[in-house]
């Protein structure tokens, strides 16, 4: 949401100040109880757990909200990746924007593949009296595959879904979930693919009622959302393997911004993606082994991941992203084991 007329200054909230002044969402306690139970079960069953965040956050402009700013994400990256993590044996906490794409049901999105289009009346019956509805033959193979995995995941209890709408819901939920997940130590992975607003309107500055027109142009000054990766890495989940995403529209900014994030927050990987190339190209940026605080550009390494959609239009880049992260996460767990054996 940065604009070319952005001014310097304006309030920057620290995470502490943010949580001391902005109210938690009403559903937080209930969500935390579900996460606690889920984490305990996965601990008992010895599974790794990944938190996938997905979809965009809104920034309401009024307390009785009529208008809001939004972020573009459809939730494709997050929902697709969640399926590949489940396939790789992870339990998944899928924290997503309400009504954005979800694992499994994403294959039947109302806009690209509406479910009414793959159902038919039984051809042997009169449609006006039909008692059976059938799936069109051309849709059956995919439906059986999706349904089989979906049912298996339900039986195994390895998918927990949480929803957010506003950036405030997102921040409170992320803090609470990461604090619960910290019990898992190095077995937890964070895959932060949601498109989160950088700016917000504090509750104290919001108009109670719908902003009225008729008084000329509207000027809104927003404050900066706290840089939440900092407390996430340094306080809430010190042992988690943290992967953040960086979206840019200027390709020249992608790698410098990814390195800057790693230098600032000290987490494990930034995956950079360009808005228009994100379905077939991403870049993994990570510290070279043994980089300490105050690192310079030479201390980071990049590896590009590309797929050829012309050759294979069904291929999903998330399959390769997840495979690479599963490998890196395992190496990181093993490296910690080696370090503690050496000390």
Closest CA to 184 of 326, 27, 333, 327: 333
Query: Binding string, 255-284, against ligand PAZ, x = CB under 6 A?
Result: ------------------x----x------
Dihedral (CA of 55, 58, 64, 67) sign: negative
Q: Find out whether 5 and 220 touch, Cβ atoms under 8 Å.
A: no
How many binding residues for ligand PAZ (CB under 6 A)?
Answer: 13
Task: Kindly state the smallest distance separating residue 94's Cβ from ligand PAZ, in Å.
Answer: 13
Q: Is 51 in the site for ligand PAZ (CB under 6 A)?
A: no
Question: How many CB atoms sit inside 10 A of residue 320's CB?
Answer: 15
Task: Tell me the backbone φ, ψ of residue 116, rounded to 5 degrees.
Answer: -65, -25
Long-range (24+ apart) CB contacts under 8 A made by 249-256 are 249/274, 249/275, 249/276, 254/283, 255/283, 255/285, 255/302
Q: Is 287 in the site for ligand PAZ (CB under 6 A)?
A: no
Residues 55-94, interacting with ligand PAZ (CB under 6 A): 73-77
SS3 content of the chain, % helix, strand, coil (to 5): 40, 20, 35
* Closer residue to ligand PAZ (CB): 177 or 195: 195
Q: Find out whether 160 and 30 touch, Cβ atoms under 8 Å.
A: no
Q: Is 322 in the site for ligand PAZ (CB under 6 A)?
A: no
Task: Kindly state the smallest distance separating residue 196's Cβ from ligand PAZ, in Å.
Answer: 5
Residues 172-201, interacting with ligand PAZ (CB under 6 A): 193, 195-196
* Closer residue to ligand PAZ (CB): 38 or 164: 164
Q: Is 245 in the site for ligand PAZ (CB under 6 A)?
A: yes
**Using CB under 6 A, which of 97, 246, 259, 329 touches ligand PAZ?**
246
The residues binding ligand PAZ (CB under 6 A) are 73-77, 193, 195-196, 245-247, 273, 278
């Amino acid at each position: 949401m940065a604009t070319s007329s952005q001014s310097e200054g304006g309030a920057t909230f620290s995470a502490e100040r943010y949580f001391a002044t902005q109210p938690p969402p009403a559903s937080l306690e209930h969500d935390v109880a579900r996460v606690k139970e889920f984490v305990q079960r996965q601990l008992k069953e010895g599974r790794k757990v990944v938190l996938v965040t997905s979809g965009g956050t809104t920034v309401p402009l009024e307390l009785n909200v009529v208008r809001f700013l939004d972020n573009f994400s459809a939730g494709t990256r997050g929902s697709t990746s969640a399926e590949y993590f489940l396939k790789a044996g992870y339990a998944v906490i899928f924290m997503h924007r309400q009504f954005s794409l979800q694992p499994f049901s994403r294959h039947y999105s109302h806009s690209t593949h509406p479910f009414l289009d793959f159902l038919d009346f039984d051809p042997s019956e009169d449609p006006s009296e039909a008692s059976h509805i059938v799936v069109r033959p051309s849709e059956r193979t995919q439906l059986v595959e999706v349904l089989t995995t979906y049912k298996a995941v339900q039986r195994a209890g390895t998918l927990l879904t949480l929803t957010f709408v506003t950036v405030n819901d997102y921040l409170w939920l992320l803090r609470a979930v990461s604090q619960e997940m910290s019990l898992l130590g190095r077995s937890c992975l964070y895959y932060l693919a949601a498109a989160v607003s950088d700016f917000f309107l504090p509750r104290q500055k919001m108009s109670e009622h719908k902003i009225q027109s008729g008084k000329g142009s509207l000027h809104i000054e927003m404050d900066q959302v706290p840089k939440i990766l900092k407390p996430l890495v340094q306080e809430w989940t010190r042992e988690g393997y943290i992967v953040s995403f960086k979206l840019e529209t200027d390709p020249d900014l992608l790698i410098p911004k990814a390195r800057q994030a790693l230098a600032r927050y000290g987490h494990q990987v930034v995956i950079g993606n360009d808005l228009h190339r994100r379905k077939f190209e991403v870049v993994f940026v990570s510290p070279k082994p043994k980089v300490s605080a105050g690192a310079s550009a030479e201390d980071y390494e990049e590896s590009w991941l590309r797929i050829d959609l012309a050759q294979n239009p069904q291929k999903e880049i998330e399959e390769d992203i997840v495979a690479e992260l599963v490998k890196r996460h395992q190496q990181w767990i093993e490296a910690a084991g080696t370090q503690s054996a050496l000390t």
